[in-house]
Amino acid sequence: MKAIRIMAAVLTLGFCFASAALAAAPAKGKTVTVASDATWPPMEFVDANKKIVGFDIDFMNAVAKEAGFQVAFKNTAWDGIFAGVEAGQYDAIISSVTITEERKAKYDFTTPYINIGQILVVPKAEKGTKIADLKGKKIGAQIGTTGAMEVKKVAGVELKTYDEVGLAFEDMAAGRIAGVVCDEPTAVTYALQKKEYSSKFKIVGKPFTKEAYGIVVKKGNKELVDLLNKGIAAVQKKKIDAQIKKKWQLK
């Protein structure tokens, strides 16, 4: 009886260790819920079929495939997107989020997956080529973005913020602001590719910041960061990200 009991105990203990190991490892096929503010073409936006599409969406799907998990996207307004990941409403954020020291103090980031710069868009009649040339005028940017932060740095210009960058371009088309600062790919989409704006706006100068995007995760969730980094590394090694850039006409 003792031998049988000892063997049973060993088997039970082994089962417990195995169960604990499985619980600690990311489950194959697990679903990661990812928030994105789908108002920022070509990175993330809603298409004619009401589907969230864009570079970030394709990139995240590729990361999920390489790392062995499923992804569910949740269209979330920018002004509450960070609070949502803190509250556990979703697991991660992929939404053209620049990695900054201030944000790193509050959230965890994956390794960078693309580099982007801020750029200025103005009406075609405007002669200024940089933010400082627009002193005494209003410049628009999406609230809480690095574009808005850059405008704030320049004395003499007034920052006007918007919940969505598209609203800033609408205001500029109506003559209510003199410029818009945003990420270069989004500037290209609005100023050069949208029919309603291509004859009205122009991009001036070159990108005046160098920024890296990362996927945001709640502070302390190392397991998820590691899982995402595994996927990012595979996507980059296989040059899948280059294919996605080409699809969305990114440099």
Report d(CA 76, CA 96) in Å as an integer: 13
| Residue 208 pLDDT > 90 | yes
User: Which structural domains are found in the chain, ordered by start?
Assistant: 27-115+213-247 (3.40.190.10), 118-204 (3.40.190.10)
**For residue 171, pLDDT beyond 90:** yes
* 3-class DSSP string for 122-164: EECCCCCCCHHHHCCCEEEEECCCHHHHHHHCCCCCEEEEECC
Q: Is residue 15's pLDDT more than 60?
A: no
State the amino acid at position 116 in one-letter form: I
C-alpha–C-alpha distance, residues 166 and 30, integer Å: 35
- At residue 251, the pLDDT reads 78
- Nearest CA among 176, 107, 181 for reference residue 143: 181
pLDDT of res. 28:
58
- Residues 171-200 have a mean pLDDT of 95
- pLDDT at residue number 157: 97
User: What average pLDDT is seen over the chain?
Assistant: 90
Q: Looking at residues 198-204, what average pLDDT do you find? A: 96
